[in-house]
Amino acid sequence: MRSNGLSTNQIMRQVVYALALGIGASYYFFGWGVLLQIILGVITAVVAESVFLLLRKQDVKKTISDGSAILTAVLLAVAIPSIAPWWIIVVGVSFAIIFGKQIYGGLGNNPFNPAMLGYAFLLISYPLQMSTWQVDFLSFGQSLELLFNWTNIDAVSGATRLDAVKTGLSLGNSIDNLQVYSSSQAWINAGFLFGGLYLLLRRIIFWQIPASFIAGIAVTAFLISIGNADAYLPAHNHLILGGTMLGAFFIATDPVSASTTPRGRIIYGFLIGVLIVVIRSFGGYPDAVAFAVLLMNITVPLIDYYTQPRIFGK
């Protein structure tokens, strides 16, 4: 992200506003679940960050008000299943804040994207809760009840489209016979896309990362499906399923853990896109944004080292 005169707090606030479109789409299709997760996540983030700042004898009010912990919580809450039990978001956000950020010394020092670290932790630790996704619209009461009483979950849950496609392909079905389009996911992705374009217009994020991220997905998906189109998801489906747009505009663009040079950003975003398609197509997990982002986070120092801009005249 660029500084362009805005304070950290203002930037974080703009990012949260930009997320509203995608969250709105999710609300339209699934109801209150995602909003409840966000509320719970934000409360957890503020509490976890305050406790840790007190232990580290730092200025609590000043650091909380930069909004970065809240943004981490919102991103994680959007990424997890909206019908996950309450402790999933609480444990995930606490892990993201404490082990993703504070343990490295707070905002600016974390090598990994905290929200994605929390997501990967949850996905590996609680596979059942993290792969049970909502399929239909639920009323406020139903969502609230599921949050605290995670029973009869089978009646309202199902596999995501990416999951269903993966299972279908592994059973030997051709992609033509599988349902690969999901209108709810397409609209949610569109919401994040337009929110992201708003951030680009406001010059809060750099264009290189989302552009090369999307190019990476499209090129890789195209290349691996050449000559074998039956067995792989086409590129345009990759773009509107799962967490693609959220990842491209809101997650990979995290200013702390992303590459900081212009050429580096292109390499960084492109390789995330490549990894997403590779993991989705050949890996064990249906979606891959978190793993791809974390893997590329590790390479950022190397990318930055080799892509330093040349000083004119040298």
Partner 1 sequence: MEDYIKIAKNGLWSNNQALVALLGLCPLLAVTNNIVNAIGLGIATTFVLVASNVTISIFRNQIRKEVRIPIFVLLIASFVTIVELLMQSYFYELYLILGIFVPLIVTNCAILGRAEAFASKNTWGKSLLDGLMMGVGFSVVLIVLGAMRELIGSGTLFDQSALLLGSLGDTLSVNVFEDYQGTLLAILPPGAFIGLGLIVALKNFIDLRKS
User: Is residue 86 part of the contact set for partner 1 (CB under 8 A)?
Assistant: no
The answer to whether 128 contacts partner 1 (rule: CB under 8 A) is yes
The answer to whether residue 125 forms part of the interface with partner 1 (CB under 8 A) is yes
User: Which of these, 165, 172, 168, 158, lies nearest to 233 by C-alpha position?
Assistant: 165
Q: Compare residues 108 and 127 and give the one whose CB is closer to partner 1.
A: 127
The reply on whether position 174 binds partner 1 by CB under 8 A is no
Q: What is the DSSP letter of 112?
A: S
Backbone phi and psi for residue 134, each to the nearest 5 degrees, phi listed first: -75, 140
Overall residue count recorded for the chain in this entry: 314
Degrees (nearest 5) of the Cα angle 273, 210, 159? Answer: 55
For the bound state, the minimum distance from the C-beta of residue 91 to partner 1, rounded and expressed in Å, comes to 8
- Residue 124 or 223: which CB sits closer to partner 1? 124
Burial of 56-78, coded b for 16+ CB within 10 Å and e otherwise, reads eeeebeebbebbbbbbbbbbbbb
Output 48 or 224, the one with its CB closest to partner 1.
48
Q: Could you say whether residue 124 binds partner 1 (CB under 8 A)? A: yes
Shortest reach from residue 293's CB to partner 1, in Å: 17
Q: Can you state the percent helix, strand and coil of the chain, rounding each to 5?
A: 70, 0, 30
Site string for partner 1, 248-277 (x = CB under 8 A): ------------------------------
Give the shortest CB-128-to-partner 1 separation in angstroms: 8
Going residue by residue from 90 to 119, which x/- string records binding to partner 1, judged by CB under 8 A? Answer: -x-------x--------------------
Query: C-beta of 287: minimal distance to partner 1 in Å?
Result: 18
Q: Is residue 121 part of the contact set for partner 1 (CB under 8 A)?
A: yes
SS3 readout for 246-313: HHHHHHCCCCCCCCCCHHHHHHHHHHHHHHHHHHHHHCCCCCCHHHHHHHHHHHHHHHHHHCCCCCCC
Rounded least distance, CB 281 to partner 1, Å: 24
Q: Considering the complex, what minimum distance in angstroms separates the CB of residue 35 from partner 1?
A: 26
Q: Which is nearer to partner 1, 51 or 211 (CB)?
A: 51
The reply on whether position 126 binds partner 1 by CB under 8 A is yes
The angle subtended at Cα 16 by Cα 295 and Cα 20, nearest 5°, is: 105
CA 52 to chain centre: 24
- C-alpha–C-alpha distance, residues 159 and 80, integer Å: 13
Q: Which stretch binds partner 1 (CB under 8 A): 3-11, 124-132, 228-236, 247-255?
A: 124-132
Decide: is 231 part of the binding site for partner 1 (CB under 8 A).
no
* CA dist., res. 147 & res. 77, Å (int): 13
Binding residues for partner 1 (CB under 8 A): 91, 99, 121, 124-128
